[in-house]
Amino acid sequence: MQFTATQIAGLLNGQIEGDATISVNKLSKIEEGVTGSVSFLSNPAYTQYLYSTQASMVIINKDYVLTAPVTATLIRVDKAEDAFSKLLEMYNEVKLNKKGISKLSFIADSATVGNDIYAGEFSFVGENATIGNNVKIYPQVYIGDNAMIGDNTTLFAGVKIYSETQIGKNCIIHSGTVIGSDGFRFNPQSDNKKVPQIGNVLIEDDVEIGANCAIDRATLGSTILRKGVKFDNLIHIAHNVEIGENTYFAAHGVVAGSTKIGENCMFSGQVGIVGHLNVADNTIITAQSGISKSITKSGGVYMGSPAFDANKYRKAYIHFRNLDNLVQRVDKIEKQQKESEIKEG
């Protein structure tokens, strides 16, 4: 994809300084700029690179004052970072705008398929599945029987959607993720016989799920990810869990069965939550914390394992770090006391 300075300035409502006919076909960081790329400068810490970058084009703020000659063509805008973000979005949209159904894909005759979909090589759509408009199904995606995929949703290569799963509009699911696999339930009173998992997974609109996540189907009813939920890579959500709207999970998060997570929560990496709990809205959990009991107060910050109030944890940790010194002091006092008792005896 080739774009001239004139075209980019038009898209960003910017002003050109330099060669308006110069063209670019890639994006780059300013310190790694190469010929044929466009970059931006907004952070003063990177100012030096404006004068040495090999990028053909650089987006800068309108009020930036040059202190030396530059070789790149400049596009002056109100806010360089915002303008470059807009350019990134447009570039990504063009790059991912795939359409057409490959002859090497399979779509069941009973499936309902919307307009302008993309189905890559070796993708599979099962019986009675419903695929919305403008859905992107990348190579080797599996969509099971009776599954529903909403408009404008993208399933990247290798995603597996089990039967009965429902996914809303404008969702993004990255490679290797499995949605609708069986929940982990066995009956120890009956020779560990597997408990059938006959529920499904329900994912609402505007959800993004990272690579290699696992979202288990419910035993009965639904495992639910509400609107706007965002998952990093390597998240495991067990059967019958419900994640509230606009909640974020960083990598390696695990939520055990039947736990209910509130809205607008933020969980850092490697957070583990045991089953059958409730976590209040707006809760923040720091990295590597373990949640072993329900959190009922909205807006709290928790850390540790088992986790408790972050401020109290930090104070307690100061004492923990001094524990060895305290033990040595106690040992010394006990030794002095014994020596004194021997003398008196």
What topology is assigned to 100-313 in CATH? UDP N-Acetylglucosamine Acyltransferase; domain 1 (2.160.10)
pTM for this entry: 0.84
Residues of the chain with pLDDT under 70: 345
Q: What is the pLDDT of residue 96?
A: 85
- Name the superfamily (CATH) of residues 3-95: MurE/MurF, N-terminal domain (3.40.1390.10)
Q: What is the pLDDT of residue 201?
A: 98
Beta bridge partners of 279: 261, 295
Q: What is the pLDDT of residue 94?
A: 80
Instruction: Report d(CA 222, CA 240) in Å as an integer.
Output: 6
Q: Annotated catalytic sites, by residue? A: 239
Residue 1 corresponds to which tokens in the numbers above?
């994809």
Kindly list the domain boundaries of the chain, sorted by start residue.
3-95, 100-313, 317-344
Q: What is the pLDDT of residue 1?
A: 73
Q: Do domains 3-95 and 100-313 have the same CATH topology?
A: no
